[in-house]
């Protein structure tokens, strides 16, 4: 909206910062490194972002925004409920594989990497959108009645884990973690798992607990 020179540098900073924050976490990231990799001096960063924390938030917002767009696009597409589920998984896997640093960053954030409790309402809304879609399809008996949010959270965690942690824990499983062969393999695997969980088959997995929101039994004082 303003100077054209500023835009380019700002975006490069965000890009490099995402990589660095994903790789080393908030506290492990050095502003000096970011500046160096961008090709400017550390002090120049403060012309674009007033503090490390604000840079962090900017990177985070961009990551969530991108994810939200992707999800919304797939949910709005055509096809059966099961088709959409497959498409959601595929899109999510593609996104994770295309942006490993961003994925690490979001994982770290949910582990509590933030300086102070920076809590994004975006993540909740995003998950609810997908879970609601599953719930609705289940109400119409298009999908098997397994705990919807459980499945969604499970897939999110599983896929993220495949691409971020698995290469460290089991380097032989995905020999080339971000190659297209690995992406397709994970996609097939996860789609397979999800299909087995969301189609016909087995016992209805405690329908009672499927969408409680306020189970009345908890809060053991401690």
Binding site for DNA (CB under 7 A): 2-3, 5-6, 9, 29-32, 39-44, 46-48, 50-53
Q: Give yes or no for a contact between 198 and 85, defined as CB atoms under 8 angstroms apart.
A: yes
Q: Give yes or no for a contact between 103 and 96, defined as CB atoms under 8 angstroms apart.
A: yes
**Residue 52, interface with a copy of itself (CB under 8 A)?**
no
DSSP 46-90: HHH-SSHHHHHHHHHHHHHHHHHHHHHHHHTS-S-HHHHHHHHHH
Q: Give yes or no for a contact between 103 and 160, defined as CB atoms under 8 angstroms apart.
A: yes
Which segment (4-12, 54-62, 80-88, 197-205) binds a copy of itself by CB under 8 A?
Answer: 197-205
Q: What is d(CA 155, CA 56) in angstroms, rounded to the nearest whole number?
A: 26
Q: Residue 85 CB, nearest distance to a copy of itself (Å)? A: 15
Q: What is d(CA 66, CA 62) in angstroms, rounded to the nearest whole number?
A: 6
Per-residue CA distances from 158 to 48, 58, 123 (Å): 36, 26, 17
**Residue 108, interface with a copy of itself (CB under 8 A)?**
yes
Cβ distance to a copy of itself smaller for residue 14 or 194: 194
Q: Residue 64 CB, nearest distance to DNA (Å)? A: 22
**Residue 107, interface with a copy of itself (CB under 8 A)?**
yes
Q: Please, which of residues 21-40 interact with a copy of itself by CB under 8 A?
A: 23-28
**Residue 179, interface with a copy of itself (CB under 8 A)?**
yes
Tell the burial category of 124 from Cβ atoms under 10 Å away from its Cβ (0-12, 13-18, 19+): exposed
Cβ distance to a copy of itself smaller for residue 39 or 201: 201
**Residue 1, interface with a copy of itself (CB under 8 A)?**
no
What radius of gyration do the chain's Cα atoms show? 20
Q: Quick one: which H or E segment has residue 14?
A: helix 4-28
Cβ distance to DNA smaller for residue 39 or 179: 39
Cβ distance to a copy of itself smaller for residue 5 or 169: 169
Token pair 């719930």 in the structure block, residue: 135
Cβ distance to a copy of itself smaller for residue 18 or 48: 18
Cβ distance to DNA smaller for residue 26 or 133: 26
Q: Residue 126 CB, nearest distance to a copy of itself (Å)? A: 9
Within the chain, what is the greatest distance between any pair of CA atoms?
61
Among 104, 137, 143, 187, binds a copy of itself (CB under 8 A): 104
176 binds, among DNA, a copy of itself, none (CB under 5 to 8 A by kind): a copy of itself
């Amino acid at each position: 909206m303003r100077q054209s020179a500023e835009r380019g540098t700002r975006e490069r900073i965000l890009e490099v910062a995402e990589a660095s924050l994903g790789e080393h976490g908030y506290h492990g990231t050095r502003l000096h490194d970011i500046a160096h990799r961008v090709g400017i001096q550390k002090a120049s960063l403060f012309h674009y972002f007033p503090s490390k924390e604000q840079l962090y938030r900017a990177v985070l917002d961009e990551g969530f925004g991108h994810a939200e767009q992707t999800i919304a696009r797939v949910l709005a597409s055509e096809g059966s409920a099961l088709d959409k589920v497959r498409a959601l998984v595929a899109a999510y896997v593609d996104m994770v594989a295309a942006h490993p640093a961003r994925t690490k960053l979001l994982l770290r954030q949910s582990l509590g990497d933030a300086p102070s409790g920076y809590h994004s309402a975006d993540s909740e809304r995003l998950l609810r959108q997908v879970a609601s879609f599953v719930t609705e399809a289940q109400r119409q008996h298009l999908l098997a009645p397994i705990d919807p949010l459980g499945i969604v959270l499970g897939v999110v965690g599983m896929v993220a884990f495949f691409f971020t942690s698995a290469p460290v824990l089991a380097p032989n499983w995905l020999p080339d973690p971000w190659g297209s062969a690995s992406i397709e393999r994970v996609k097939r695997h996860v789609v397979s798992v999800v299909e087995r969980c969301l189609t016909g088959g087995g016992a209805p997995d405690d329908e009672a607990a499927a969408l409680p929101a306020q189970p009345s039994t908890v809060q053991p004082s401690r």
